[in-house]
Chains A and B, each alone.
Chain A
Amino acid sequence: MPKKGENELTWRDLEIGGIVTEPGNASQYQTGDWRSQKPTYDFDRCIKCGLCQLFCPEGCVEPNSDGHFEADLYYCKGCGICARECWTKVITMVEEEG
C-alpha cells in the first residue's frame, strides 16, 4: 500500500480483497484517537518498577529518556488500568480536551 494518511486512502489504493501484503502495518493504526481520558504523570513518585507497562493492554508503555515509564499517546486508548495499578499513584487520568 502506498504511504498515505489513513484518511487519504481511496479504494484504488487497496489490494485485491483488502489483502495486507506488508507485515506489521497495524502499527500505523492510530488507536489513540479512541481515547476520552489520558494518563498524566507525577514522575517524582515513580519507582520505575514497570508494573504499568506489564498491565497496559495496549502495550504502549515504554521507559522514556529518564527511565520513567510513559504511555505513547499515539496508541494509548485511555483505559486507566495503568493509573489503577500503579502503587505509588504516579498516574492520574484527565479528560481529553475537545
Chain B
Amino acid sequence: MNLNGSQIFWKILKEEGVDTVFGYPGGAVIDLYDELARTKGIEHILVRHEQGAVHAADGYARVSGKTGVCLVTSGPGATNTVTGIASAYCDSVPLVVFTGQVPTTLIGNDAFQEVDIVGITRPCTKHNYLVGDINDFARILKEAFYLASSGRPGPVLVDIPKNVMQATVNFKTPPKKTTMRSYNPTYEPNVKQLKKVVKALVEAKRPLIFAGGGVVLSKGSDELTRLARRLSIPVTTSLMGLGSFPGTDPLSLGMLGMHGTYRANMSTAACDVMLGVGVRFDDRVTGKTDTFASQAKIIHIDIDPTSIRKNVPVWLPVVGDCAITLKKLNELLDAEDLSGVAERRRAWLDQVEEWRKANRLAYDQKDVIKPQYVVQRLYELTKGEAIITTEVGQNQMWAAQYYLFDRPNRFVTSGGLGCMGFGLPAAIGAQMAAPGELVVDIAGDSSIQMNSQELATAVQYNLPVKVVILNNGYLGMVRQWQELFYDRRYSETRMSHAPDFVKLAEAYGAMGLRADKPEQVDETLEKAMAHNGPVIMDFRVEAEESVYPMVPAGAPITEMLLV
C-alpha cells in the first residue's frame, strides 16, 4: 500500500488510540493538517498559544491516564512548546509532541522558521527524534508512544521535516508490540527485597508511608490504600501524590514538606520506618536532607533507579512499578498474622492524633475574604468531587492544603517546574478528558494572566471550566518570601495593573463574577457552578495573607513557621 508521510502519521496515531490532539498549524505542518481534514475520529483542539497546547495535553493525560498529544509548526511554534514540555518532564507526564521542521535538504541552512528543537529539548524530554527518512517514520511514531507511556513516563518529541510528510513509500504495517534493545524498564520487583519490606513494616513501631506521583501514574492507589489500612500506617503524600490515598481517611496526614501539614512534618521526623512509594524526595519535601526522617530506615519503591539515593540515603531500595510492587506486598501480607499490628501502633497513632488536633491550618475569617476560606467553601460545596487544576504560588498551596482528594487523577498541578500559566490550559485538557465533570482552576491574579488567552479556546469548544482567582494584587508567593526573609521589601511583586477580570471574561464570551465580601463567596461559587459554560470568578482576598506552615528553604522540616 502506497502512503505518504501525512497519511502514515494519522494512521499510526489512530492505531495508538489517539482521539484528541491539541495543536496549532503553520507552514511546516500544513500537510499534516490537510490530511487531518480528511481523517475521521480525531478531535483537534485549536489552542491560542502552543504553550497552552502542551499544558492542555498534560491536563488531559493526567486525568485520562492516556498519553497527551500536541501538534505544532516549526520554529516559533516549536519553541513555544518548551515550557510545557519541561513541566511535563519534571512531573513525569506521558506526552508526545510533534513539531514540523523545514525539509531535510534545508536543515542546517538557517532556513525560514528553522530551529534545532531536538537540540533545545534534549535535556527536557525523555527522548526525542528527528525523522530523517520516511522509511523510519512509522517505527519512530510507535517508539514515541511506547517511550512516553512506559517505565517512568515522560514527554517525547518527534520533529518531522516537511518533505517526510510529503514523501510516499510502500507502507508495511509495523509490529503491534514495540521493543527496543536499549530500553527495558523494570516493572517486577525483586521478591527477596519485598520479604524484607514486609518484615520491616509489620515490626515497625512508628511507620509512615510517603506516597507520590508514581502511585498515581502506576494506578496503584487501591493497593496502597489496602496496604496502609490493614497495617494501620499513616500516609503522607507529596504535592504530586495528593489523591493517591483518600484525603478524608483517618490515616491521611495530607501533604508534607515546605508547606506540608504540621502533623505530616512532625510524623516524618519521628517515624522509625518510612516507606517511600513513587516519590523522588524533592528538596521542597526534604528541607535539610541530613535531618529528614533521620530516625527512620527508608524503604524506597521506584521504577526509575536514578530516583533512588539521589537525595536521601535509602536503607532498602526496590526498583519496580508501584502498583505491581504494592500488590505483591499485599499478597505477602496475606500470609502474615496481622492481628496484633493495630494494637502495636496505638501509641504512635495517638501521637499523630495529638499533632492533628493542633489544627495548624486554622484561620480566622473576618471582614475580608480569606483565600483559604474560598478554597474550603469550594471543597465543601463540590463535596470534594471536582477536578482541580492550579496555577502556581500561594493559590496552588492553598488548593493542596484545603481541598481534599479521595481519588487519584483529580488534582493537576505543575509541581516540579512550578510554571505559572499552567492551570487554565490544563483545565481545558482535563475537561476534554472528563466531559461530564466539574473542572476548576484555582488561580492567582498574576498566573492567570500568563495564559488567559486560552479562555477563547474554552468558549469555542464549550468547555465549562471554572476559574477561581484568589486575587491578592500581588505575586503572592514571592511577596510572602519578601515579607518573611527580605524585610518586607516588596520589590516588583505588586501586581497593580491587572485587567478587570469580569470584563475580560465577558470579552471572551464567558461569564465573569466578582466577590468582595465573605458572604458573597458561596453565592458566587454556586452561580458559577450552575452556569453551563466557562466562568471566571474574581475573589478579592486578603492581600497580605501568607501560606502556613512554611519551612524556610533548606531548614529541617520540623522548623515550621506557623501562624
Partners in one complex: no
A-side residues, CB < 8 A to B, are none
